[in-house]
Amino acid sequence: MSISSLAYIVVETANMEGWSAFLQQTAGLAPSAFGPSEGLYFRMDDHAWRIHLQPGNAERFLSAGLECASDCQLDAIVERIVRAGMEAAENKALARARGVDRLVLTADPCGNAIELVVGRALGYEQFVSPAGVSAFVADHMGLGHVVLPAPDIDTAKAFWLDIIGLGLTDRMTFTLSEEVGLQSLYFMHADNERHHSIALFEAPSPSGLVHVMVEAATIDDVGRFIDRCERDKVHVISAFGRHSNDRMLSIYVMTPGNFMMEFGCDGLRIDWRNWVPTYSLVPDLWGHKFVGMPEMPAI
C-alpha cells in the first residue's frame, strides 16, 4: 500500500486567536516550536506538528498531508498521477516549510488539495496536553482522519483507490434530507490499523472540508472534552454516540474554520489481511443525534 498515514492538515484562517484557543484549551493539542513558515503549528504526539494554521483572509481547509514510507512509494504514486493526465509538482520550498524531505502537490478530481510527503520531522519534547488530554491515538496511524467533499464521488473514489493507492474499508448510503435524497460515503484506509484515514462524502462543502477526526486515548478524555465545549461555548453539531462501522465513540463540534471536528475514542483496529470491504446501512449504532448547525452571521 502506498500511503502510510494522514500526516497533517493545513488550515487558512483570519482568526488565529480563536483557532489557537480552540485547539489548545478545548481540544487539548499543544503548540509546537516548529515554525519555518508563518502561522502556528500544533502537536498531539511525538511528531513535530499535526495541524498548521496559515494566516489568510478566509476560513478554509487548505490541504491534507499524506505520508509515504519511502521515495519509491512516492515516485510510484506520482507516475500513476501523470499517466492519468493529472498534475503533480514537487515543491522543495514547501517541503522545507512542512519539515519533510520531499513534498509533491496534487489534487483529486473534486479539487481537494493533497500534499504527498516523505521524511516527516519528529518533535523531541514530550507531548503534554494543555487541556489535560491523557494522550491522542496518533503516532504511526497519523493525525486521525478527514472527510473530504466529493460531489463527483465515483470519479473521486477511483482516484483515491487506483491512483493514490488507499484501500476500501466500507461504504455507506443514507438520506440526510429528502430534498437531496440518497448520498454516499466511502471510507478508505492507509497502511495502518485505523479504520479509515480518508473518507469521501457525496456533497460540496464551502469550507473545503466536512470534518477532521482526532482520537483520544480514553472515554474520560471525550467526556472532559464535552465539558470543555460547554465551558468554551463551542457549538455541538452531533451529540455523543457510536458509529456503526468504525465503532468510534465520539461527538461532533464546529471549529472556527466552519468545518466540524469529531473528537472520539475506542475506534476499531483492523488487521487488513483478514478484512473484506463492508456496506453499512446506518451511520450509527446509537446516539450522534443531530443538534443543528450554528447560525451564520448575515453578510
Domain identity same for 238 and 274: yes
Query: Is residue 128, in this structure, part of any structural domain at all?
Result: no
Domain identity same for 256 and 204: yes
Q: What is the pTM of this model?
A: 0.95
Query: What range defines the domain where residue 34 resides?
Result: 3-118
- Final residue of a structural domain among 51, 83, 118: 118
Domain identity same for 167 and 261: yes
Measured CA to CA, the distance from residue 121 to residue 151 in angstroms comes to 34
Q: Domain holding 57: CATH number? A: 3.10.180.10
What pLDDT score was predicted for residue 294? 84
Q: How far is CA 203 from the centre of its chain?
A: 17
Domain identity same for 84 and 171: no
Q: Is there a contact between 188 and 195 (Cβ–Cβ < 8 Å)?
A: no
Measured CA to CA, the distance from residue 140 to residue 129 in angstroms comes to 19
Query: What is the mean pLDDT, run by run of 10 residues, along the chain of 299 residues?
Result: 95 97 98 87 96 96 97 98 97 95 98 97 92 97 98 97 98 80 92 98 96 98 98 97 97 97 98 95 94 65
- Domain total in the chain: 2
Beta carbons within 8 Å of 46's beta carbon, 6+ residues apart = 122, 123, 127, 139
Query: Is residue 125, in this structure, part of any structural domain at all?
Result: no
Query: Is residue 130, in this structure, part of any structural domain at all?
Result: no
What pLDDT score was predicted for residue 296? 53
What pLDDT score was predicted for residue 293? 83
What pLDDT score was predicted for residue 299? 34
Query: Is residue 68, in this structure, part of any structural domain at all?
Result: yes
What pLDDT score was predicted for residue 297? 46
Query: 278-280 and 167-175: which strand pairing?
Result: parallel
